[in-house]
Structure 1
Amino acid sequence: MSRPLSVLMIEDSADDAELLAIELRQGGFEPQIRRVETAEQLTEALAGTPPEVVIADYNLPGLGAAQALEAVRRSNPDLPYLVVSGVVNAEQAVELMRAGAQDFLDKNDLARLVPAVERELDEAERKRQLRKAERDLRESERRNRAVLENIVDGVITMDADGIIRAFSQGAVAIFGHQAEDVIGQPIELLMPEPFDRRHGDFLKEHMGKSGASVANFGREVVGRRKDGSTFPMHLGVGETETAEGRMFIGTARDISDLKRMSEELAQAQKMEAVGRLTGGVAHDFNNLLMIIISNLELLGDEINGNDDLESLIEAATSAAERGADVTQRLLTFSRRQSLMPEAIAIRELVEDTVKLLRPAIEETVEIRSIVGDIVSAPLADRGHLQNALVNLAMNACDAMPDGGTLTIEIGDTRLTQVDLGDDSEAKPGEFVMVDVSDTGKGIANDVIDRVFEPFFTTKGMATHSGLGLSMVYGFVRQTGGHLEISSTPSRGTSVQLYLPVAENMEKQTAKRRRPALPGGEETLMLVEDDHAVRGALGRLLTKLGYAVIEAASGPAAIEACKDGAIDLLITDVVMPGGMSGPDLAREFADRQPGIKILYISGYAERLVADKSAADLGARFLGKPFRKELFAKTIREILDD
């Protein structure tokens, strides 16, 4: 079966063209010939479907051999070009071959025509395949280079001698070295001590093992940047054989952020566990303290005039209040305490705090306050903010046993998301900055990340609880603020509190207060599941003149008041029986719209989370509390 063959024939003689066609047909081809005689016809033919072979006469009128060959080579460098002529001498033939013709044949002897065509067709196919392979290789290299340069992980190639042979853009970003600076350098350049010294021995040992491979090897290691700093990274290593010998391909990923987030998650889980424990302990412990304080105060009223006994009762009451303070610090740390945020005149608060601190610290410590151009007021709980400042100031003084300077600086600032970093709770915006700094001994780098942990202290648990800074941390975070700490050993420490700016900066006017221990004749509903607490508070309220209805649970309170109205509902927040304090308050509000409500609890998380409780306009008192505060709060609510 004849093979089709597309032929472009540059020939002015139709008879010669037919002779060539006959020779090709006899050689097993079915030639499809397009014959041209002029340069214009050649250009037109080359612009169309390319032929498989060109057979050209040496010299045509108006179209020289060199001109025709040049036109064909511009169109297709690999197209087989055979010269068939009866008038060309050897010198001219050699010149044409040098110019790119594949072969020269004599018209008077066409025996070599078919073998020459077959040979050049095979050669042309081989060249096409070779060029395709080269194009594919270049495309593959381009894709691989694009992947290598754009992959986030660093990709590093190393030979059997530990010399870096390739260094991706990802590796440049991770290590800080430019590729041209490290290629040809030993891989130890990227390793800190002592790993750099061990790597050479490891590589020699590995290379000496027959059949040993590190394919799919991966683990966490430590890398070294150009500036000398170290960082944790995950290193994956593969191995391959090349013409140059064994090559190792390493992928390096900086896991600093992953490690930090993992540590933050572990810390958050630890904080949450402590917080849950704190909440449970606080509820029961504050109830016990409430019983102690209430009964001590009632007892004090009965022994009025006995100075010795009154002194003992006051000492016991003070001790109970110190226990309540420890519980409050735990709640503050775990962010489960109830805050009463307000717009604070921060300048006056700092001045008051400095006056409070001056008698309590050594004369060798100088107190400086720097007040910037304050135009904003922070939104925070005034009492907790002042406690936070006192805690920070006392810590600063402890760090300066031989004297120094304590500085409290305040000013307006704006924090962007970049400033807040990984702090997901605070929102970018306007803040009031409170900076408490000292010139003391500073905090060691290995413990500075732990200073906000509860019960952590460098001063000894015998004299310090380790709750001061954790309380500050919890207060600032619950306020919606941001906290930063920096320290340089032997130079000092600075703690910056960033508190959100209050939208309404108008000063709140103080309500009119009645004299101490005011009473009344209104009817009060007291709901408390702890019998001892209920009894102590009930006796106090009765003594103040109120008509008191007591109940141990929500359902019991509803039953007790089904036939009459009350003036004030006083209820615990967390109670058994399936009905919480907020649940009970809503039930009473439905039955008696406008009823006044006072929550009392040693653990207010349930109340803080219950948004609808705030809609009822309720007040809150944290257990334990003194009778003076209890009596005044009740009277304020009833008179409002």
Structure 2
Amino acid sequence: MDEPQNPMEVRETVWAGQWIDSTTDYAIFALSADGRVVSWNPGGEHIHGYSREEILGRPLSVFYTHEDCRAGVPENVLCEARKTGRYSGEGWRVRKDGSFFWASVVITALRGTSGQTLGFGKIVRDMSDKKQAHDAVVESERRFRLLVHGVTDYSIFMLSPEGNVTNWNQGARRIKGYTAQEIIGSHFSRFYTPEDAAAGLPQRGLETAAREGRFETEGWRVRKDGSRFWAHVVIDAIRDDDGTLVGFAKITRDISERRETERALDETRSALLQSQKIEAVGKLTGGVAHDFNNVLQVVRGNLEVIESRLGRDSWMRERLDKAIDAVERGAKLASQLLAFGRRQPLQPVVINLATTLRNMDDMLRRSLDETIQVETVVAGGLWNTCADVHQLENVILNLAINARDAMPDGGKLTLELGNAMLDDRYVAGLEDVPAGQYVVLAVTDTGVGMSPDVLARAIDPFFTTKPEGYGTGLGLSMVYGFVKQSGGHLRIYSESGHGTTVKVYLPRSTASAVEPSSPVRMPLRGGRETVLVVEDDRKLQSTVVDMLSGLGYTVLKADDAQQALTIIRSGVQVDLLFTDVVMPGPLKSPDMARQAVGMLPQIKVLFTSGYTQNAIVHGGRLDDGVELLSKPYSREELARKIRRVLGTQGVELETTGNGNVEHDSTAPGSLRVLVVDDDAGSADAVGALLEMLGHRPVLHRSAERADDALGVQEFDVLLTDISLPGMSGIDFAIKAVREHPHIRVVFSSGADAPPARQLPFSWRALRKPYTAEDLRRALA
């Protein structure tokens, strides 16, 4: 008879059965010793899809995939449970409908009192959602590892808390040159330069990252082959959930190219700023240079006229010299500004710098103190260059004077000439400096030198370290402007206390050098030619007329280009057109000059200006065949330039005791001349010629108005055009001689004169265009 059961045990068994039968989240069922299903709960039906009737008696393998069945997984699971008493694991299982789910399985062996296996209890839970999330994390981590490993533009690796490398990606290998096997386990300080490592920079980076969570910097790093690169570095501290430091993540990027680009951009910005500065100064200079030099010309011209007409006592001489010297200083100031702004008209010729330097030897030694030793070194086979000799001499003199001022206690000045080749690598970061062959002038002093701040501003206009009153700050600015305008390059090397070297590079010329002409003191020469002065500044015009008259020339004047062409069309002989470059009105001076040459092919043209703009200067150089006399100029410069343009010796001027020019004694006596010409420009020109010949002209535009003048005034000569509005010149001459028998008649016309027998009185004719000498003979 069976022993009665303990009521408590009975109650627990009932409760367990009720829990199993009511659970749907877990499949809880029993298996026989050979692995067949012998019980089933609602959870089993919910998870596996089988009803109780469908599954009882079926083998355990029904829940496994075909692959697992072929591999004997169901049998192995039961074997393990039978052997150890328990099996737990996860894997894919199959539902009734053939779908898969990820199952968490626990199988417990059920044993009898003697230890034999009676069967198995199995609990199954559907873990598909957790499996999916887990797989997503695993996949994400896998992809992240692939991503990090596959990045080649960034060096990404981990460090231990001590700074040892624990992993290594492809970017790190590419940037730093080490393989993972070569570097893992090494301390990351090996990537730093020796000086940075000695200064403790690696450790400070880790300490900052550990303290603040992140450290970011830029600096030089070293590759495996010893080469350096500029790196952007980020170190992030890595901590676990408890906040314990477990290491560092380090990202390094090679930004050498970006740094070089930024450097080039900075240089470009600096060059642009310098270019804008030059442009601004150039515009400012150009805007005022014309008017400023006109003023200087008026002052200088009048001073020299006064000098030529007044006595030359020592008191007067001293003050005139001081005034003229002040004008020259003002002219030099304007010239330096124009040179810096690259607006100085250059007249380059092919020269050998060695010859130029030798010719300046005496001038340089006079400009320097006796305490300064001068040495000139010229390399053999020196190339030629093309430059404006006068401006180049100013450059050399400016550099020598700057060197002198830098050596107040004496020193050594070395002027060295040589050949140089500037290659593509040298000129890569320079603006407007083409690669090629250059002649280089190096001026070196042993003076006080320049600090980096001073050196950076050395060529700025008006910047100077000299005391007030000892310099304008335009010396190096002028040198820089001249060199750039000549297509060259300027480089300054200096250090405080160690002197300065200024190197001027001028492009090589393969043409033959022009032999410089030796300056010979020639007597002042004027002439008897006719000069048409075209100048809109009335005061300057008057001054120039006085200067030219004092040199013996017959002078006509015009206020603008249109008026000048009117005078030329009138038929008056003009030998030289002396015109300002910058003129008001729609017709520009160069165009006027071209039209004048078209009408009078023998006419010569001389331009003058305080600022040429781009009218006759292109690329910084005077146009071919153009003659220019820059304002302000002296009386002697004017005289010599005019003779050179006209191409003849002219007349050597003699002066009276008070300095006045002695004019030709063959000039006729003063005559009262009635001029009749309907062209206002022609009438004005004839009137000016008559005044220059010492006569007294009265001008009228018609015969009728001239006839009225004859009624109230006596005239010695009637100078009339033949073609006039209203009464013709011939009819008016007949009437004038009939009423004033003493008057002499001269016909002036571009057409043929009347036949000699046609008129009842004697007369002379002037065929337009005629010269001042022709007019003088007609009136003699």
Taking only aligned residues, the RMSD between alpha carbons, in angstroms, comes to 5.2
Equivalent residues of 1:574, 1:606 under 8 A apart: no
CA distance in 2 between partners of 1:533 and 1:160 (Å): 87
Q: TM-score, normalised by structure 2?
A: 0.56
Q: Does 1:580 align with 2:588?
A: yes
> Which residue of the other structure, out of 151, 156, 169, is the alignment partner of 1:144?
151
1:70-81 pair list within 5 angstroms: none
Q: CA deviation at 1:419?
A: 2.2
Q: In the aligned structure 2, how far is the partner of 1:395 from the partner of 1:525?
A: 44
Query: In structure 1, what is the equivalent of residue 611 of structure 2?
Result: 603
Q: 1:613 to 1:313 in 2, by over 3 A?
A: same
Find 1:628's aligned residue among 623, 636, 644. Answer: 636
**Alignment deviations for residues 391-430 of structure 1 (CA, whole Å, 9 cap, x no partner):** 1122222222222211111111111132234322222211
Question: Secondary structure at 2:400's aligned position in 1?
Answer: helix
State the 1:454 CA deviation. 0.9
> What's 1:570 paired with?
578
Once the two structures are TM-superposed, the CA of residue 206 in structure 1 deviates from its matched residue by 6.0
* Amino acid corresponding to residue 148 of structure 1 in structure 2: Y
Give the superposition deviation at 1:616. Answer: 6.6
Contact 1:412 1:432 in 2 (8 A): yes
- Tell me the amino acid that sits aligned with residue 330 of structure 2: G
User: Alpha-carbon deviations, 1:450-500, whole Å to 9, x = none?
Assistant: 111111111223211111111111111111111111112222111111111
Pairing 1:523-602 to 2, within 5 Å after superposition: 523-564=530-571, 566-593=574-601, 595-602=603-610
**1:163/1:187 contact within 8 Å kept:** no
State the shift of 1:501 in Å.
1.6
On the 8 A contact 1:514/1:632 being kept in 2, the answer is: no
Describe the shift of the 1:198–1:622 C-alpha distance in structure 2 as closer, same or farther (beyond 3 A): farther
Alpha-carbon separation, structure 2, partners of 1:182 and 1:524: 90
CA distance in 2, matches of 1:548, 1:169: 87
1:355, CA displacement in angstroms? 2.5
**Residues 137 and 585 of structure 1: is their aligned pair in 2 closer, same or farther, counting only changes over 3 Å?**
same
2:264 corresponding residue in structure 1 = 257
CA distance 1:348–1:615, shift in 2 (3 Å): closer
Contact 2:382–2:417 (8 Å) recurs in 1: no
- Normalising by structure 1, what TM-score? 0.67
One-letter code aligned to 1:423: L
Quote the Cα distance in structure 2 between the aligned partners of 1:179 and 1:261.
Answer: 41
| Residues 602, 633 of structure 1: alpha-carbon distance in 2 compared, 3 angstrom cutoff | same
Q: For the residues of structure 1 that align with 2:343 and 2:269, how far apart are their CA atoms?
A: 24
Is the CA contact (8 Å cut-off) linking 2:525 and 2:639 kept in structure 1? yes
| Distance in 2 between residues matched to 1:499 and 1:383, nearest whole Å | 15
1:317 equivalenced with 2:338 (yes/no): no
CA distance in 1, matches of 2:440, 2:551: 45
2:375 alignment partner in structure 1: 368
Residue equivalent to 1:24: none
Verify the 8 A CA contact 2:344 2:620 in the aligned structure 1.
no
Aligned-partner Cα distance in 1 for 2:293–2:183: 65
Structure 1 residue aligned with 2:447 = 440
How many Å apart are 1:293 and its aligned residue?
A: 0.6
After alignment, is 395-404 or 179-188 more displaced?
A: 179-188
**Preserved CA contact (<8 Å) 2:301 2:543:** yes
Percent of aligned pairs sharing the same letter? 32
Does the aligned pair in 1 maintain the 2:219–2:232 contact within 8 Å? no
Q: Which runs of 5+ in 1 are unaligned?
A: 1-53, 56-78, 95-111, 150-154, 208-212, 228-232
Deviation at 1:613, TM superposition (A): 10
What one-letter code is carried by the residue in structure 2 that aligns with 1:598?
L
* CA spacing shift, 1:520–1:158, aligned 2, 3 Å: farther
Q: Greater Rg, structure 1 or structure 2?
A: 2
**Partner residue, 1:420:** 427
2:647 pairs with 1:639: yes
Q: How does 1:217-232 map to 2 (within 5 A)?
A: 223-225=218-220
- Alpha-carbon offset, residue 556 of structure 1: 1.8
Distance in 1, matches of 2:287 and 2:204, equals 53
Structure 1 residues 179 and 585: CA distance shift in structure 2, 3 A: farther
SS at match of 1:314: helix
Partner SS state of residue 412, structure 2: strand
Deviation at 1:562, TM superposition (A): 1.8
- Decide whether the 8 Å contact of 2:461 with 2:474 is kept in 1: yes
Q: Counterparts of 1:164 and 1:267 in 2: how far apart (Å)?
A: 49
Residue type at the aligned position of 2:588: S
Q: Distance in 2 between matches of 1:574 and 1:635?
A: 23
Contact 1:555 1:579 (8 Å CA) reproduced:
yes
Q: Secondary structure at the match of 1:529?
A: coil
Which residues in structure 2 correspond to 1:345-384 (within 5 Å)? 345-384=352-391
**2:399 alignment partner, SS class:** helix
- Secondary structure of residue in 1 paired with 2:332: helix
SS of alignment partner, residue 394 of structure 1: helix
Whether the 8 Å contact between 2:450 and 2:500 is mirrored in structure 1 is: yes
Q: SS at the partner of 1:270?
A: helix
C-alpha contact (below 8 Å) 1:330/1:467 kept by paired residues = yes
**DSSP-derived class of the 1:597 partner:** strand
Q: Deviations over 1:259-317 (max 9, x none)?
A: 33323322322222122111222211111110011111111111144343233222211
Q: Which residue of 2 aligns with 1:106?
A: none
**SS of structure 1 residue aligned to 2:370:** coil
Letter in 2 for 1:583: D
**What amino acid sits opposite 1:453 in the alignment?**
D
